[in-house]
Amino acid sequence: MDSRVFIGNWKENPKTFKILGVRSRSNTKTTKAPAEDWPVPASAQFIADSYHQASGAFVQALKTQWIDQTLEERIDFLGQKMPNGSLLMFLLLHQNHHRGQMTVLMRQAGLTVPGIYGPSKEEWANFGMEAPKM
């Protein structure tokens, strides 16, 4: 079965890009996200810049608005009470999940995947080495 993504048949879900902003349901006050009707970005550079800006603002908000005890405070997140520390861990793991999805989509589209947790198979080849067998 051919698992490549055929670009001509692919349609972006306009709601996908709203997740680029950090939507914290905790008590950080300086993070923001685009509205759901935000237009699809025109370039990958804009997406990268937006991600770096949002993640930097999120880290800064945590540094300036939270103390160690804030991690223990329980908040309502999507109808479930959880400590802020657990929510932060969830956000990190969820981001990793989506990064994995992106690498699969990039491979299916025939793009070169950059090394994330070490060299990609193309980077091993550039080093003149065979990628380790998994």
Of 17, 2, 23, 12, nearest to 107 by C-alpha is 2
DSSP-based three-state secondary structure for 52: helix
How far is the C-alpha of 52 from the C-alpha of 46, rounded, in Å? Answer: 10
Is residue 94 part of an annotated ligand binding site?
yes
Burial (CB < 10 A; 0-12, 13-18, 19+), residue 52, is exposed
Is residue 98 part of an annotated ligand binding site?
yes
Q: Which residues contribute to the annotated binding site for a divalent metal cation?
A: 94, 98
Q: Which residues contribute to the annotated binding site?
A: 94, 98
